[in-house]
Each structure stands twice: as C-alpha cells, then as structure tokens.
Amino acid sequence: MGRKKDRCPSDKGSHFPERKMEAFQGYLAEHKDQIHLIIYLVLAAGLVAIVITACLLNFNRAFVLLVISLVTVFFLVWDWMMERYGDRVWEELSSTRDLLSRNWFWIRCRDSEKTLKTHCALPAHDEQIILMMMVVMEMMMMMMMMMIIVHSLQVMPILVFLSSVISILYYIGFMPWLIHKIGFIMQVTMGTSPAESMAAAGNIFLGHTESPLLIRPYISGLTRSEIHAVMTGGFAGVSGTILGAYISFGVEATHLLTASVMSAPASLAIAKMFWPETETPSATASHAIKIDHGESKNVLEAASQGASCAVGLVANIVVNLIAFLALLAFLDAAFSWLGGMLDCPQLSFSLICSYVFMPLSLIMGVSWEDSFIVAELIGMKTIINEFVAYQKLSEFISRRKAGGPEYVDNVKQYISVHSETIATYALCGFSNLASLGMSIGALSSLAPDRRADISSCAFRSLIAGSVSCFMTACIAGMLYIPDLQCSRFLSTEFINTNVTNSSQLVTCCTQLYNSVTAHELLNMTIGEGFNQSSLSLQHCCTLTPLTHFNCSL
C-alpha cells in the first residue's frame, strides 16, 4: 500500500512545517563535519580547563587525571594522523621498529628486572588495602544483588497475575473491543487516522514494542506523520503489567492509571504539533482495522501463556535493574572523583540532572524546595529509564509516610504529596534513550521497507513523548488538590501572628473537636493524628468555637 498524494495540494501553508524541518535536516547533513568539529573543540576546551584547574588546586591529587588526559589526547592525535598520513608515518617509523626488534630480548630483561624490583618494594600495607577494597566491593555487589532479587520476588506475583488477566481478556475478546472503542473515540474527537488512534489506545494497556502489533498489516502504508504519532504514543505511555510493578513500589495506583489514560490523547495532540499531517492516510475507516485475538484455544491456555510471558518480563526487569543501577552508581562515582579534583566531591550525575531539569520541574508546578529532587527523577527517567526513577521516588514516598524529619544535615529527605503527584505523571512513560533503540528495532522488523522513515522519526518522537508526559504532569499539578494534613496544618498555622479564619482552619478544627474524648474537667484524650495538639485546641476554641463542643474542658 503506497502513500497517496497530498490531501490539499493547493494549500501551500500545510507543507510549511515539513519544508522547514527538511531544510533544517539538510543543513545539518551538509555541515555535519563542521558541527562535529565544534562539539569536539568545546569538549576539548572543557577538558583542558578542568585539568588545568585541578592541577592548580592540587597537582599531586590531579596527577592521575593529567596522565589519563594526556594519554587520551595522544591516541586521538595518533588516530587523526594515521587516518590522514598513515602510510607516511608507518614508513618513517620503520627504522625505529627495526631497532626494537633487534634489541627486544635485552629490553625485556631490563623491564622484567625493574618489574621485580617494583613488586618487591611494594609495601605490605598497600597490598592489604587493595585486598580490603576488593572485599568491600564484592560485599556491596552481593548486597545489591540480594536487594534486587528480593524486590523482584515481591514484584513477580503482581506481574504474573496482571499478564494472565490481560491474556484472558484478549482471548474472550474484551481487550480488542475496548481498544477499538477507545481508538474510535479518539479518532472522532481528535480527527486522527484509525491506525494511529488504535495504536495510541493500545499504548494504554501495552508497551511501546507491543502496541504496533495491533496495526501490523498497515505499518508499511502509514504516512510519516502517522509513524511519528505511533512512536510518540509508545514513548508517552507504559504497559499495563509494568504499572503493577510501580504500584508495588508504593506509588499511588490512581495516579498511575490516570496518567496512562491521559497520555494516549496527549501523545496524539503533541505528535501532530511536532509533525502535522500533510498526506492522505491509506486506512480511513475504523472498522478496517482488525485486531488479533491471540492463538489460545481456551481460557486456561490463555492464562498460561500470559504467565509465561510475565516470566520473561520479570527477568528483563531484573537484569535491567542490575545494569542501570550499576551504571548509575558508576556515573555518580566517576563524577564525584572528577569533582574531588576541583574541591567539589559532592558532584554526581544525579546532582547534574537536578540542575539541568530544575526549570522544567518548576514550570510543571513543583515547589522550589522540591524542584531539584523532581528534576533529578526526570533526569534519571530520561537518560537511564523510568523504572529506576520510580524506585527512587518510592524511597521518598516511604520516608514521608514514615513521618521522619524533613531535613537531615540540610538535605531534604522527602517531597510533598503535590510534588509526588506531579513526578508520578511526569515519569509515566517509556521516553528514555534505552527505549529509543528498542522502538526503532520493533517497528523496523514489522516494516523493513520503512526503516529510513522510522529512523528519521525516532528522536523527534522521543522528545514529543517526553513533552506529552510533562504536559499531563502540568494538568495534574493544576487539578490535583492533596488531602489536608490537619495535624501539620494546625501546628504551622498557629505559629503565625495573624491567623485567618479560613475554610481549611474550620475543617481541621472540626476534625480536632471530633477526635477529643472528654473524661472529666481538665482530663481529655486527643485522637490519633493530633498528638501534642492541646495548644491547637485552645486556638481553635478561640477562633472557631462550636456549640456541640465544650471548650471549657
């Protein structure tokens, strides 16, 4: 099925965004070498500045960094020379190679003698330090492995159950019917094509590599705008089974489900803003899209196949956790070592992410106090993956629920419920660099003849999927009103000298009145959640007295 001609040939304005993007891509391709040279020069200038600064601060400490930098520069220059003057350089070095080959035996003897002397001169306590460091690293790796295995055993039952249920729903025909109806609603209300609408609806329940299977026969005939929309929808949502894993972390299930549903229409809206449709889709009727019900013969076989698929999913989660958590620890350690050369040992990958994405978290409605933490989570989700980010978010949620101090050594231990909600919506998507290659591979295997179009849409789709997640987070931040924590509200409200008689104050004082159990005069019990609130009770009686409560007690 080939692509048809333009829908509105006379409407030249409809081609304006596409022409501008093609012109921009052509400019980048034409000046690719110059752009690469500028990037290399900027990186080299930054490296030189870091090395010089580190040497000025403490030369002995920066000696290793200096050696690594010099060796790196030497081999880069060597590769550059060999690429351009390789034959000439090799001929000039022929005499040196002949000299080394004739005297190789004596050089090796001298080197081995020095090596023996060096090893004999190595102090014993240095060897013990090295052995202790190796033992500590092995213990840390074992502890990390045990934590991941225990965590996977907690997540696995949920994933197996959800995968079996979804497989059964596919067998009885409910899931294809539901996806078809949701896709039809989005097609009618948003004016999108049936194929991209069906794929967006499938992303509510499936992953970014499974949802294209719903429209597999039609991928070869999709327009470039439709391919972009299909990929954007995959990056903007998460699969239904993965939601179960996030819920087991302690993340609010309501917000996760809402974010998954909101991301479907949001991804279509953002995708069409990034790449407007200028061609005529091949499939224009929703009933033309047929969804496969699976190959199961009965309900039990469907449940068994779903459970078997979940085993591979759990294994994929475990190995990805091991890989990406180790990668994150390595990046933090590398940046901390590099920062230590500049008298800034607190430098880490997470800290860099918090500063880079902090303006974005502020725009989404996160408070200033929580903006750096939410920005760190967004950076983890975008550069590593959303699973690691949700695991980090679950740590902040558990600390808040535990009721510990908000700050320890001026470091924030948890964030507000409102910030948690915004972070939950912002992280709910597969829009990360690791998923980019997976999405290209999945779509290219379904339509090999469209590999070039799929690759050209990929990075823009990743950005559009991220914007879709951030847009749903903005909407959630505006509409969500967190539950009023009356104990904290009263304890902070009465610190102020000017206390206003607001509806929140009346509500919390009423809850405080209802929690009081009076035994006798000056002998009462305040309900759970209002500990040490006798002073708050006195203020409530002064500002909002009630007729059914005797404030004289």
DSSP secondary structure letters along 283-300: ---GGG------S-SSHH
In DSSP notation, 408-455 reads ETTEE----HHHHHHHHHHH-S--SHHHHHHHHHHHHHH-GGGHHHHH
| 61: amino acid identity, one letter | R
pLDDT of the residue at 308: 82
Beta bridge partners of 408: 411
349's enclosing H/E stretch is helix 349-356
pLDDT of the residue at 164: 84
- β-pairing, 523-525 vs 407-408, is unpaired
Beta-carbon contacts of residue 138 (< 8 Å; ≥ 6 apart): none
Find the largest Cα–Cα distance for the chain: 108
In this structure, are residues 163 and 313 in contact, taking their beta carbons and an 8 Å threshold? yes
The stretches of 122-252 forming alpha helices (DSSP H) are 124-172, 174-190, 194-202, 224-236, 240-248
CA dihedral 258, 264, 267, 273 (to 10 degrees): -110
- β-pairing, 523-525 vs 411-412, is unpaired
CA separation for the pair 361, 201 (Å, rounded):
28
Structure token pair of residue 453: 């179009």
Look at residues 419, 463, 13, 544 and name the one whose alpha carbon lies nearest to residue 231: 463
In this structure, are residues 414 and 397 in contact, taking their beta carbons and an 8 Å threshold? yes
In this structure, are residues 499 and 493 in contact, taking their beta carbons and an 8 Å threshold? yes
Q: In residues, how long is the chain?
A: 553
pLDDT of the residue at 420: 94
pLDDT of the residue at 469: 95
CA separation for the pair 317, 329 (Å, rounded):
18
pLDDT of the residue at 1: 43
For residue 245, count CB atoms less than 10 angstroms from its CB and return exposed for 0-12, middle for 13-18, buried for 19 or more. Answer: buried
pLDDT of the residue at 126: 44
In this structure, are residues 422 and 365 in contact, taking their beta carbons and an 8 Å threshold? yes
In this structure, are residues 341 and 65 in contact, taking their beta carbons and an 8 Å threshold? yes
pLDDT of the residue at 154: 60
Look at residues 60, 61, 47 and name the one whose alpha carbon lies nearest to residue 341: 61
520's enclosing H/E stretch is strand 517-520
pLDDT of the residue at 390: 93
In this structure, are residues 284 and 348 in contact, taking their beta carbons and an 8 Å threshold? no
In this structure, are residues 384 and 328 in contact, taking their beta carbons and an 8 Å threshold? yes
pLDDT of the residue at 267: 94
* Domain extent listing, the chain: 31-102, 154-300, 315-479, 486-543
Q: Please, which contacts does 52-55 make with residues 24 or more away whose CB atoms are closer than 8 Å?
A: 53/342, 54/341, 54/342
Look at residues 159, 436, 211 and name the one whose alpha carbon lies nearest to residue 316: 159
Q: Which pTM does this prediction carry?
A: 0.74
CA separation for the pair 69, 360 (Å, rounded):
34
473's enclosing H/E stretch is helix 451-479
CA dist 463 to 32, 270, 303, 455, Å?
Answer: 21, 10, 36, 14
Look at residues 383, 354, 382 and name the one whose alpha carbon lies nearest to residue 369: 354
CA separation for the pair 52, 70 (Å, rounded):
12
Q: pLDDT truncated to tens, each residue of the chain (553 aa)? A: 444 444 444 444 555 666 776 777 778 778 888 888 898 889 888 888 988 998 888 888 888 888 888 888 888 887 877 777 767 766 766 776 666 666 665 555 555 544 444 444 444 444 454 555 555 555 655 655 555 555 555 666 777 777 788 888 888 888 888 888 888 898 889 888 888 998 899 888 888 888 888 888 888 889 999 999 999 999 998 888 788 888 888 899 999 999 999 999 999 999 999 988 888 877 666 556 666 666 778 888 888 888 887 777 777 777 777 777 778 888 888 888 888 888 888 888 888 989 999 999 999 999 999 999 999 999 999 988 888 899 899 999 999 888 778 888 888 899 999 999 999 999 999 998 888 888 888 888 888 888 888 988 889 999 999 999 999 999 998 988 777 677 667 766 666 656 566 777 777 777 777 777 654 444 455 555 454 456 667 777 777 666 566 666 5
pLDDT of the residue at 419: 93
- β-pairing, 407-408 vs 411-412, is antiparallel
In this structure, are residues 224 and 452 in contact, taking their beta carbons and an 8 Å threshold? no
Cα-flanking dihedrals φ and ψ of residue 408, to 5°? -130, 115
b/e per residue 185-199 (b: at least 16 CB within 10 A): ebbeeeebbbbbbbb
Structure token pair of residue 524: 């009462």
